[in-house]
Structure 1
Amino acid sequence: MYSPLVQPAVSGASSGSRESTRDNVLNSVLTHGPVSAATIGDQLQLTAAAVRRHLDSLEKDGLVEVKSVAGSRGAGRPSRRYVVTQQGQSHLGDDYLDLASEAVRLLQEISGDEAIRSLARKHFASLEQRFSELVPEDADLTDRIRALTRTLDEAGFAASTRRAGRGGKVTTLRAAQICQGHCPIQEMAGEFPEFCEEETELFARLLEVDVRRLSTLPTGGHVCTTHVPLGRRAHASLMAHTAQRAEK
């Protein structure tokens, strides 16, 4: 289950707050998608009928879409889960990205691919700074995951965490997933994958484990999902590599 660190605002269903409620529903899909109408209703304290009305409106406007998910027991009708569409991502804001992308293309033409990587590292430096302010040096992995999720969420990535894998005695099978429902630079990252690669390396360095990207918004995923193994420290080679990259 999702365990968001920042809960969406609760909204009523009065006519005066209709647009606000619709935005809250959209933000809930953004942060928790794929998500069911029932789950959204629980989060926002709305009836299922009210949630479905807003979802139908958002779907009609092309901002959300239905993704069928097989039942947890593998039987019965697939459950309906909602995700934000590419149009919805654009609706949520990408001001000045066209100009920024043009500038990055010019930088690549003049200085090459390594300049793009350097730019990406500098772009994420503020996330690293914010993370370091939230986490003491002796923090455990769980503390680090929560702090990173909070940092991403506050930076506009609509981030949340969820557990994955089995929770038995074999600790290497336990895992967490950091999910980012929105990417403020999605179109740019689609053209310049160095941004996603540097972000992944940043996560590995901050969490001190060997993380793995399962999906990304720029490559067509409904959410950016990063797999974080629990109970397994990063190999020394990874630590040395990511530390070296951070110094560049």
Structure 2
Amino acid sequence: MKNAAALSGQRPAAAAVAGASASAADVSTRERVTQLLLARGATTAVQLGDALGLSPAAIRRHLDAMLVDGDVVAREQAVRAHRGRGRPAKVFLLTDAARVRCGTHHYDNMATAALRWIARTGGAEAVEAFAAEQVAALERRCRAALEDAGEDPLARAEALAGALTAEGYAANASTIASGGQLCQHHCPVAHVAAEFPQLCEAETSVISRLVGTHVQRLATIAHGDGVCTTHIPGQPGRVPSGKTVSTVRTDR
């Protein structure tokens, strides 16, 4: 009886340890899901499960918990080509709150207040000058990383993606039918840029100068998109130094 009682007394403790281990494993998995969504932007449950080696039931359990916690939102996947019957797959994106916990948007309130003061006292031109100055150092660092990339804009875009990733932008470049595409899955100033798009304009101009061709910004995190997407034409023309390149949204 004594042994039975001892064993009985140990069970709650053992269960607690097992529960703590399971909880720690869940937290670790959800951190990995968060990092994947940060790097990839909008992603389906199947894609997340494949990347993490999880069954459909397991990944959906984690996503359901993250939905309840307010870490992700679900949207219907945009399908441009003709598709078969059935509802489109859902994609999952990080919420602003989750991005903040990833280390983004520090000092947003102070930065926004400062830009509002600049706009009141100096006008739109002063805001543009401030934005250009802010990205100047980034441009210098990225230009140094592109020294051996050659002249081809798409090759330069690939090298630029690597440089931007090193700066914390989680970027990647890919070739598409109409040229190339540079995607940034992380924007440290997204909340501020939502009110002051001059920051996006200045960054787009930097990308244009660095790849050596006119580019077109198709989507931005600051405007609610999952990824900042920049299109690079397949047959580019050189852009004169200092030329301003506007952000054009085609997702409306």
Report the TM range for the smaller structure's normalisation.
Answer: 0.7 to 0.9
Report what 2:37 is aligned to.
Answer: 29
The AA in structure 2 aligned to 1:76 is R
The answer as to 2:97 corresponding to 1:104 is no
Residue 52 of structure 2 is aligned with which of 41, 44, 57? 44
Aligned to 2:240, what secondary structure does the other structure show?
helix
Alignment of 1:154-193 (within 5 A): 154-164=166-176, 166=177, 174-193=178-197
Tell me whether 137-146 or 101-110 shows the greater mean CA deviation. Answer: 137-146
Partner of 2:27: 19
TM-score (norm 2): 0.77
Which structure has the bigger radius of gyration?
Answer: 2
Residue 74 of structure 1 is aligned with which of 83, 101, 106? 83
Q: Indicate conservation of the 8 Å contact 2:213/2:236, yes or no.
A: yes
User: What's the CA shift for 1:220?
Assistant: 2.3
Query: What pairs with 1:202-221 in structure 2 (closer than 5 Å)?
Result: 202-221=206-225
SS in 1 for 2:168: helix
1:61 to 41, 58, 69: 69
Equivalent residues, number: 220
Give the aligned partner of residue 143 of structure 1: 155
Structure 1: which 5+ runs fail to align? 1-12, 167-173, 244-248
Runs of 4 or more off by more than 6 Å in structure 1? none
Q: CA 1:61–1:102 in structure 2 vs 1: closer, same or farther (change >3 Å)?
A: same
Q: 2:240 corresponds to which residue?
A: 239
Measured in 2, the distance between the counterparts of 1:139 and 1:131 equals 15
Matched, 1:152 2:155: no
Task: Name the CA distance, whole Å, in 2 between partners of 1:125 and 1:241.
Answer: 12
Residue 91 of structure 1 and its aligned partner are, at CA, apart by 3.8
Gaps of 5+ in 2: 1-20, 245-252
Letter in 2 for 1:229: P
Q: Quote the residue 2:96 is aligned against.
A: 86
| Percent of aligned positions that are identical | 32
Task: Report the alpha carbon displacement of residue 196 of structure 1 after superposing the two structures with TM.
Answer: 0.7
